[in-house]
Amino acid sequence: MGASLGLTWFTPFIVKVLGYSQASAGFIATLPWVMGATMVLATGWLSQFLMARGASSRLARGVLGSVPLIVGGLIVLMMSYVDSPIAKIALLVIGGGLIGSIFVVCPAIIGEFAPVSQRASIIATYGAIQSLAGILAPAVNGGVIESATTLVQRYNAGYRITALVQIFGGLAGLLLLRPAAETARHLPLLPATTTA
């Protein structure tokens, strides 16, 4: 959701609300992608490092994927309460970039408990749902931007909704992402051994 909003609404926000030129906005618009890519690589490395050190999958994948969503959402939420254009951009870049953490851990979590024969279809379904959010988010945000009274209020409202969805998603992840429990639940029952 955050990534698709970055594609559709971040550049107009920089130009129309913050007053940057189109040339400057082109450079600035790459910053969330740099932050997101950095987050993806860092989360992937840290997750593998924690797993190799014996950390639980819940910590190395569930918590590691969810906490940055919450922190990023809180950072994006702060954006509408600062006046400096540079501060607004920094908050959006950092807060929006932190969502990269969840993209790394979800396929790994699915791979832990999904049967091998169904793993590809489940990961494809996850990708489809994620893509659907990417399609709906710009349209919803566009409706919010159209309905508010001033341009600044419109974009602030849109980013607040994004932040709240991000926070909610992170909290849901903290509560629900328990790969070890899912793995145990989906393991086939082993036949009882008999002694002669």
**The pLDDT of residue 184:** 56
Q: Show the DSSP H helices in the chain as ranges.
A: 2-8, 10-12, 22-28, 31-52, 57, 64-78, 85-97, 100-113, 116-147, 151-176, 179-186
Burial 150-170 (b: 16+ CB within 10 A, else e): eeeebbbbbbbbbbebbbebb
User: What is the token pair recorded at 178?
Assistant: 């328990």
**The pLDDT of residue 192:** 45
**The pLDDT of residue 188:** 52
| R_g of the chain, CA atoms, integer Å | 20
Q: Please name the residue that has the structure tokens 């594609």.
A: 7
**The pLDDT of residue 193:** 46
pTM: 0.80
Superfamily (CATH H level) for 2-178:
MFS general substrate transporter like domains (1.20.1250.20)
**The pLDDT of residue 5:** 55
**The pLDDT of residue 191:** 47
**pLDDT for residue 18 is more than 70:** yes
Residue-wise pLDDT for 70-127, tens only, equals 999 999 999 989 989 999 999 999 998 898 888 888 888 888 878 888 888 888 888 8
Residue-wise pLDDT for 167-177, tens only, equals 999 999 899 87
**Domain boundaries of the chain, sorted by first residue:** 2-178
C-alpha 100 chain-centroid distance: 5
Q: Please name the residue that has the structure tokens 């909704």.
A: 161
Residue-wise pLDDT for 33-63, tens only, equals 899 899 999 999 999 999 999 999 889 988 9
Reported as a pLDDT band with limits 50, 70 and 90, residue 189 is very low
Residue 102 and residue 145: Cα distance in Å, rounded?
27
Instruction: Identify which has the larger pLDDT, 11 or 90.
Output: 90
**pLDDT for residue 190 is more than 50:** no
Residue range 145-170: average pLDDT? 83
User: What is the token pair recorded at 25?
Assistant: 């906005």
**The pLDDT of residue 181:** 58
